[in-house]
Amino acid sequence: MYTFPTDYKPLLTVKQTEHAIVLIKDFFQLALSTELNLTRVTAPLFVSAGTGINDDLNGVERPVSFPVKALNDTPLEIVQSLAKWKRLKITELGLKPGFGIYADMNAIRPDETLDALHSLYVDQWDWELAITPADRTVTFLRTVVKKIYRCIKRTEFYLYDRYPMIVPVLPEDITFVHAEDLQNEYPDATPKERETYAAQKYGAVFIIGIGGTLADGTIHDGRAPDYDDWITQTEDGHRGLNGDIIVWNDVIKAPFELSSMGIRVSPESLSAQLAERACTERSTLPFHSRLLNGELTQTAGGGIGQSRLCMYFLRKAHIGETQVSVWPEEEQQACRRAGIALL
């Protein structure tokens, strides 16, 4: 639950905000594609149900589905992200290691909790990079994270150069912390409290090992078992080749996730993760079968929230100030009382 800041006054008008959103999106996607050697591809809005292609996020969220009259009422699903679709696309294109794709992804997540940071509507840059088996290391993961963080830093200065009231606050470098180390440091805290302590301390942090079982049998946060690798033993003695980029948001006084990403599962780690999550029946789905048979390119990838990034850069108190969505009446009333203009 997020509390709106007291005496909140937006730095930009609604019209200025709309203009700034365009600037941010245009600049950031060019920086990202250049930094990671990504080619833009057109993203699907829906995929076939029952193929295993759609992302089920934490493994429990229900996608929006609908029958198609022209296809004999065959059900299709609105995407929740493109985590698995992108890997199929990389394989289809035959991209060499070191090159990849990105897509301007729009999704609907009907089971999302609606608050200042979460919306039914999700817009993000979904990116995927072809890698080699030798790249399946935490060292390679950190290298990619640093490249993405450089894009975030450059965008922050680009915006400040045009809107001097938006003063840069991000640290020069991002700090890497494993979820297991955070648990050891704050054993009595919840995962969200640990994120708060880390984000406040470092300003920008990449928490490694999201979804994998920690020493006490818990997980830091949920992650589906069939795209990110959170089970592989790494060269630094931990488990997990994925994580989240989190910054400290001083407007709402809370940790603020900008990106979820990781090295994708290999046939071996997919098999192990399906077993650990007790969902081995997925192995017969078309996507999973191809992956287990070694037919898919090895990749790393993730998503970077567009509205989230805009909300952070523009010092907004609610994600509804940088995107159009639907909110409960009580949320709308609370925003009006707080001086928050929802788009």
Identified catalytic residue from 29, 33, 55, 228: 55
Identified catalytic residue from 104, 181, 250, 257: 257
Identified catalytic residue from 33, 124, 273, 323: 124
Identified catalytic residue from 109, 223, 239, 308: 109
**DSSP label at 339?**
T
Identified catalytic residue from 33, 80, 81, 260: 260
Bridge partners, residue 299, by sequence: 130
15-to-70, 144, 244, 317, 342 alpha-carbon distances in Å = 42, 35, 32, 17, 12
User: Residue 17's closest CA among 117, 171, 165, 126?
Assistant: 165
User: Residue 261's closest CA among 238, 240, 283?
Assistant: 240
State the sign of the Cα–Cα–Cα–Cα dihedral 55, 59, 63, 69.
positive
| Annotation says 173 is catalytic | no
Residues 6+ away with beta carbon under 8 Å from 46:
76, 77, 78, 79
What is the rounded CA–CA span in Å between residue 197 and residue 212?
21
95 and 297 Cβ atoms separated by less than 8 Å: yes
User: Within the chain, what is the greatest distance between any pair of CA atoms?
Assistant: 57
| Annotation says 269 is catalytic | no
Identified catalytic residue from 56, 180, 244, 321: 244
Q: Is 48 helix (H, G, I), strand (E, B) or coil?
A: strand
User: Residue 268's closest CA among 225, 308, 216?
Assistant: 225
What is the rounded CA–CA span in Å between residue 118 and residue 81?
15
| Annotation says 126 is catalytic | no
| Annotation says 257 is catalytic | yes
| Annotation says 55 is catalytic | yes
| Annotation says 264 is catalytic | no
Positions annotated as catalytic residues are: 55, 109, 124, 244, 257, 260
